[in-house]
Amino acid sequence: MLTTVALTAGLTLGANPLEPLVAAPHLRIADISALGLAGVPSPRGGRPYGAELTDVSEFLIGRVALAVILPSSDGSIDPDTEDWTRAEVEAVLRGVREGLRFWLGRGPGELDFAVEFDGLVPTGYEPISRPTTDESLWVSQVLEKLGHGEGGALARAYDRVDRLIFEQQADWGGLLFFVDSSNDDGYFADGWSAYAYFGGPYLITPTTPAGDPIETLDSYVAHEGAHLFYADDEYLWAMSGCDVESGYLSVPNGNSEFGNCPLAVDCIMKYGYLPATRACGYTLAQTGRHDLDGDGLPAPIDTEPSVAPLWTPPDTVTLGEPVTIAVRAEVNPLPNRNTWGNGHDVTINRIAAVESRLDGEPWVSRPAWDGGYDNGIERAGWRETGLGIGAHSIEVRAINNVGNESETPLRIDFFVH
């Protein structure tokens, strides 16, 4: 059964002294080429302009769909040493809600989360008793039971995320796996605890990560969830120096403890438990939430659409003949500078309007051919009638959903005789 968890903005954070957030280095990279998924489009569609199947979390702007998955051992392969309780499930959902709430209202750009609860999913494995190198065993099994049975664990995860994005009409998505560790020490058999795949598609955390109480899950959701959007670790033993760049804007890790970095402040990617900590400027910029020109829009979506002609009149038109115009409007993504991930140029922008004006008169809205403006590429066409003898010009511009207009309108000149 799927349950939507509504999230709202408005959390005020305090400024209490920080405590160390202890965890082993916890970043992994999905090898898209090895998975055979390079160049593969979404089978369901509805993805941002320029995004392929594996481009699931390029920047933390827009609508993000997430699924909470709780693997539950049935004892068929490993001894069943953990049993979910109602209180634990409620604590997980509370941790998700507050961990995601941390990111709302931080930095420029709109952000909201749609969270589905996939519930307790049976598996023959007891995940916490296994090393993280066995992750694919139980992840594959769990996702197969959720209807995603083709390929390995990561391929199945990308398919689940793709379905999630499609059904929630979201821009991005990811999976949140929570492993019951209430009878364990909060570490997997190889010493790892909470970790995530850099750029997605999922994170994994024990319910008592690194031995911390379950009440601290909100901090781990906020931290590991940021890794899905290319925010880097800043604590010393992660050994990610100031010059290591990540994110769509390729932002250096300038608040890292590893090296002589320009900033040294508390941050969710360094130390601390919610609600005491914050997100530093470098972390926000790594997730794409950075305004380069002071107009209130984050750089990844602060671009202008363009217009190209599909059909224009000849240079000379006979008096009384209608003039037919057809154009193609297209969003223009900011070039992707990320040194990680696929490197595709993507944008969540959509064409919102096409307008034209004749001989400098007021702009007039033109209808989309398909009945509405809601995609990264749209087409529009119309006829101009009642034109008098002489020279005329028609200008055409596109407007995207953040209100940016074409920097240079298309201009069509002709003469009526």
22 falls in which pLDDT band (50, 70, 90)? very low
Contact 153, 34 (CB under 8 A): no
Which of the pair, 27 or 210, is modelled with greater confidence?
210
Same domain as 312, residue 270: no
Is residue 349 situated within a structural domain?
Answer: yes
- Indicate the average pLDDT of the chain: 92
The answer, yes or no, to whether residue 6 has pLDDT greater than 50, is: no
**Residue 239 domain flag:** yes
Residue 16 has pLDDT above 50, yes or no: no
Is the model more confident about 273 or about 199?
A: 199
Reported confidence tier of residue 271, pLDDT bands at 50, 70, 90: confident
Closest by Cα among 148, 175, 164 to 68: 175
Residue 294 within a domain: no
Instruction: Quote the tokens at residue 196.
Output: 């995530």
Q: Are residues 224 and 373 in the same domain?
A: no
Q: Within a domain: residue 396? A: yes
Are residue 202 and residue 54 in the same domain, yes or no?
A: yes
Domain boundary among 286, 321, 340: 286
| Confidence band of 31 (pLDDT split at 50, 70, 90) | confident
Extended strands (E) in 99-211: 111-123, 172-179, 195-197, 202-206
Domain that holds residue 22: 4-286
**Final residue in a domain of this structure, among 235, 256, 286:** 286
Residues 179 and 236 in one domain: yes
Query: What would the pLDDT profile of 347-401 be if each residue is shown by its tens digit?
Result: 999 999 999 999 999 999 999 999 999 999 999 999 999 999 999 999 999 999 9
Are 74 and 172 members of one domain? yes
Give the predicted TM-score (pTM) of the model.
0.91
Does residue 143 belong to any structural domain of this protein? yes
pLDDT in tens, 128-143: 999 999 999 999 999 9
Q: How many CB atoms sit inside 10 A of residue 147's CB?
A: 10
Whether residue 291 lies inside any domain: the answer is no
Residues 277 and 366 in one domain: no
Angle at 140 (CA atoms; ends 217, 192), nearest 5 degrees: 40
297 lies in some domain: no
Residue pLDDT, tens place only, 237-263: 889 999 999 999 999 999 999 989 999
- Which CATH number goes with the domain that contains 346? 2.60.40.10
* Contact status, residue 265 vs residue 255, Cβ threshold 8 Å: yes
